[in-house]
Amino acid sequence: MERIALAFLLGALEDAALISRPEKGEYVIEMEQKNKKWLEIVASSVEAIFGKKPKIKKRKRGYYRLRFYSKEAYSFLTRERENMFGNWKSMSKEEMIAFLRGVFDAEGSVLSTRYVISLGNKDEKLLRICKEMLRRLGIKCGNITRSTKSVKKISIYGKDNLLLFKKLIGFSHPDKRKKLDALLGP
């Protein structure tokens, strides 16, 4: 269970900042999000791994911030993220699914008018790994393309691929799950 929680968290961290200020002895994991429920899901993964629940506070303009202060967590997650990039092929199917769910929750989007789910990120290596994981799960996606000047993306096209994505991976993020359900049906 902890490996699954870790895989999900590593994916979700694509929407987080890992901040270290050694001179102040400060090591922080921080996420901002409009959807508090999704931050609570992320917080439960942090708690499953580290035994402490991060704080979630309301911010300005309808945003919430998750913060977790821990040098141990910062060091562990930084190391595990690097390890994952080098050893992702040894992940179990369940770990790949959890990682992809976390990444798509963090950086994915669902088009409401067409059968397309996209994943955008500046890190092309991450996109290549996600594309290969999806392929191994039987989900076809397009080539890596440029979304903006610095962001690239991969897209999953077609109703059958989206149905398979929903069945195997799905979204934990309530807004994205709702959007996919509206497109495909519950």
Predicted pLDDT at 112: 84
Instruction: Please say which residue of 37, 64, 88 terminates a domain.
Output: 88
Whether residues 115 and 132 fall in one domain: yes
pLDDT (tens digit, 9 = 90+) per residue, 12-22?
999 999 999 99
For residues 115 and 50, membership in a common domain is answered with no
Residue-range definition of the domain harbouring residue 107: 89-184
- How far apart CA 165 and CA 151 sit, in angstroms, is 23
- Asked if 84 and 121 sit in the same domain, the reply is no
Domain count of the chain? 2
Are 53 and 131 found together in one domain?
no
In the predicted structure, residue 60 carries a pLDDT above the cut 70? yes
CA–CA separation, 39 and 32 (whole Å): 8
User: Based on the domain organization, do 101 and 84 belong to the same domain?
Assistant: no
Tokens 């902890």 appear where? 2
What single letter denotes the amino acid at residue 8?
F
Between CA 18 and CA 180 the distance in angstroms is 30
CA–CA distance from 25 to each of 16, 50, 52, 67 (Å)?
A: 20, 19, 19, 16
| Res 1 pLDDT > 70 | no
Last residue of a domain, one of 88, 118, 133: 88
Residues 85-110 have pLDDT tens digits of 888 999 999 999 999 999 999 999 99
CA distances (Å), origin 12, targets 16, 61, 102, 143, 183: 7, 22, 4, 23, 23
Pair (98, 180) in one structural domain: yes
Q: What is the DSSP letter of 113?
A: S
Q: Dump pLDDT digits (tens) for 119-176.
A: 999 999 999 999 999 999 999 999 999 888 889 999 999 999 999 999 999 999 999 9
**End-of-domain residue from the set 88, 106, 125:** 88
Separation of alpha carbons 154 and 129, rounded Å: 11
State the pLDDT confidence band at 113, using cuts at 50, 70 and 90: confident
CATH number, residue 127: 3.10.28.10
Determine what percent of the chain falls in helix, strand and coil, rounding each to the nearest 5. Answer: 55, 20, 20
Residue 177 and residue 93 share a domain? yes
pLDDT in the model for residue 72:
94
Task: Note whether 121 and 153 are same-domain residues.
Answer: yes
Residue 179 burial (10 A CB sphere; 0-12, 13-18, 19+): middle
